[in-house]
Amino acid sequence: MAGTQQGWRSIGSGGGGGGNAVILLGSGTGSSYRCGNSNTASGNYSTVSGGYQNTASSVYSTVSGGYQNKAEGINSTVSGGYLNNACQKNTTVSGGCRNIAQDGNSTVSGGYLNLASAEGTTVSGGYSNQILVGSYSVIAGGRTNTSTTGSNYYGHNTISGGLGNTISGYYGGSTISGGYFNTVNSNLGATFIGGGLNNINSSRGGVIVGGAQNSMIDTVIGTAQYFNSIVGGRSNTINGAESFIGGGNSNIIGSSANSGITNGKRNCISVADGTFIGGGNYNIIKNSLASCLSYGAVVVGGVGNNTQGGTWDLSTCEFTVPPTTICDAGIYSFIGGGFQNVGTGAFNVVGGGKQNQVAGACAGTISGGSQNTVSAIYGVIGGGFRNGVKFLQGTISGGFQNYVCSEIGTIGGGQCNFITNTTCSNFALGSTVGGGIGNNTGGGTFDNSACQFTASPTPINTGRFTTIGGGFQNNTRNDYGTVGGGFQNTVLFNYGTVSGGYINFAQTHAGTIGGGFVNKVGRKTTPCLSFGSTVAGGVGNNSCGGTFVLSSLKFTALPNACDSGLFSTIGGGFQNVTTGDGSIVSGGYCNTASGTYSGILGGKCNTAGCTTSFIVGDNITADRICTTFVNNLSIKNIPTSPLGLPIGSVWSNGGVLNIV
């Protein structure tokens, strides 16, 4: 086992005596960490990818980067930031500073001094937000917001944002959408505050939409149409049961039960039981077929949500021409705000933005942005502009014109990135693009001054479970491939890795290129014969010819690719070639190791073409197997007696060299 570990360490070093290891094995079984930065990976199968003084101390724990982060729970993850801690099983801290995910399955996405200390809770961001007790509670953002209940079992609280908001009491299920210093302290729970200042709600099922210093205590249940409430406003109308309007102007609830409008103007709930509009202008929840088909739909605010068309006058904040199309809201759909967002499928969410649409999909989500579309079950778009998720469980966090056209694909951001496979969508299953421009595409015309494509690129099929961290037009065309970043790097076969650089090409299974410029591993045919080959960096390695201009640091004419040998290694340098199996060139200039298990320490224009031949020097051609070649050899401190020397040792007998 020790020999196996040593072998992996050697390959990770980039070869010979010419390079230093970047990723090393940690003390835990199957663990790894970024060297040289005081990182520690002590848990089994744990990973510390980068950063400084980070620790992954539990099974399957991961720290991607940042400073002094800790992943201490099983399956825990800290993506980055500073002094973050994922303490328990399945916890996640995405970034920020001094955030803690303290109980199982809890998440802190970012921000500063946030705490998620109950089972399954989420703090998305903000400053000093805390979930102390109450499982599956959420604080989306803001500052110094707090959620707690009498027991972890009674959680499910939500604070969307704001400053100093607090949810407390024994039972959970309460919501504060925003505002300043609002408090829910009902022991029976299920209460709501939409916003405002210093509002207090301690009544079960009570609602305060906004305003200042409002409170609701001990609501008395009537005998007919109880729990209808209009908190304020004017010209509001309710024609239903167990519904409420918090305030605003000319809001209508018609022929609907268990529904509510918090505030706003000309909002309408029509033939849609169990629905809710928080505020805004001209938001509509309806269903043209039956009230149950829009049951549970929510529009928190915004303008013209679940509508299309019309003419909106921004100067008067009115529709001068009303919307021409009213869209049926999906069952349990949710729109947080924005302008003319549409959620027509079941269980869908649109957090905000402009003209986003979750159409025909089940449980799709768009958090914000503009003109984004989700048309797949469980698809998610965080924000950005004109992004699209078209297949099951795809995710796009943001950016511009990114598309996920395969199951469980993820794009973090950037522009014109794709995850697709035209042969079968499942062939790109689980792939990820972290960001960048035009990844998994080719061609097109990119205008650097405008920072966009003036001619659209062409999507390129990607493999399953591939990863591209960022960069420009990088591609992973087969399964389990990884490109960390850089410019037009390509991984063509399974398990290949290009960490970064410029136009590097991994054309073999498990091939690795650390970085550099126009490096290659692999073969034009039978790529399995280059399995596991490595180029740590440099320029034009495993290539020959071409025209390299040092002043501009580029090839004006690209070189021709050379085949790399099985398990061969190049540490760096310029146009070094390892065609022999197990061969190594540590660095230098135009060296070639074509013999099996041959090696060249460095220098220039050397050729090790014999099996197990080694070269130290310049312009040397090996002509014998199992031989080391040098230009000159100077031996220091030669023994003057053969006593105690093993057979084959060299010693000096009065200046004459002898061999034992």
- Residue 650 within any structural domain of the chain: yes
Identify the pLDDT of residue 93: 94
When pLDDT is averaged across residues 546-556 and rounded to a whole number, the result is 88
- Residue 654 within any structural domain of the chain: yes
When pLDDT is averaged across residues 608-617 and rounded to a whole number, the result is 96
- Residue 176 within any structural domain of the chain: no
Place of tokens 């960096």: 537
Residue 107 three-state SS: strand
- CA 143/CA 84 separation, integer angstroms: 18
Q: What's the pLDDT tens digit per position in 411-424?
A: 999 999 999 998 88
- Residue 282 within any structural domain of the chain: no
Q: How far is CA 142 from the centre of its chain?
A: 22
Other C-beta atoms lying within 10 Å of the C-beta of residue 549:
10
Tokens coding 382: 């965080």
pLDDT of 228 above 70: no
pLDDT of 217 above 70: no
Q: What's the pLDDT tens digit per position in 7-17?
A: 334 334 333 44
> What SS3 string covers 570-583?
ECCCECCEECCCCC
pLDDT of 3 above 80: no
Segments forming the whole domain that contains residue 647: 635-660
Contact 544, 560 (CB under 8 A): yes
**What order of strands is seen across the sheet that includes strand 607-608?**
577-578, 592-593, 607-608
> Which of these ranges, 40-49, 97-106, 260-269, has the smallest mean pLDDT?
260-269
End-to-end CA distance of the chain, in Å?
A: 35
pLDDT of 496 above 70: yes
Q: What's the pLDDT tens digit per position in 312-343?
A: 998 988 999 999 999 999 999 988 889 999 99
Contacts of 143 (CB under 8 A, 6+ apart): 126, 127, 128, 129, 162, 163, 164
Contact 112, 97 (CB under 8 A): yes
- Residue 521 within any structural domain of the chain: no
Tokens coding 554: 């580029």
Query: With 0-12 CB in 10 A as exposed, 13-18 as middle and 19+ as buried, what is 112?
Result: middle
Q: What does residue 534 show for φ and ψ, rounded to 5 degrees?
A: -140, 140
Range 181-187, long-range pairs (CB < 8 A, 24+ positions) = 182/208, 184/157, 187/150
**Residue 226 DSSP one-character state:** T
Q: What does residue 352 show for φ and ψ, rounded to 5 degrees?
A: 175, -155
Q: What does residue 12 show for φ and ψ, rounded to 5 degrees?
A: -65, -20
The fraction of the chain above a pLDDT of 90, given in percent, is: 60
**pTM (2 decimals)?**
0.63
- Residue 659 within any structural domain of the chain: yes
CA dist 475 → 381, 484, 494, 541, 545 (Å): 22, 11, 13, 20, 25
Identify the pLDDT of residue 219: 39
> Is residue 27 left, alpha or beta, with left meaning phi > 0 and alpha meaning psi from -120 to 50?
alpha
Quote the number of domains for the chain.
Answer: 1
CA dihedral 376, 379, 385, 387 (to 10 degrees): -50
- Residue 374 within any structural domain of the chain: no
- CA 73/CA 62 separation, integer angstroms: 10
Identify the pLDDT of residue 222: 37
- CA 39/CA 564 separation, integer angstroms: 33
Using 50, 70 and 90 to split pLDDT, how confident is the model at 290? confident
When pLDDT is averaged across residues 23-32 and rounded to a whole number, the result is 90
- Residue 642 within any structural domain of the chain: yes
Query: With 0-12 CB in 10 A as exposed, 13-18 as middle and 19+ as buried, what is 63?
Result: buried
Using 50, 70 and 90 to split pLDDT, how confident is the model at 240? low
Residue 216 three-state SS: strand
When pLDDT is averaged across residues 276-291 and rounded to a whole number, the result is 87
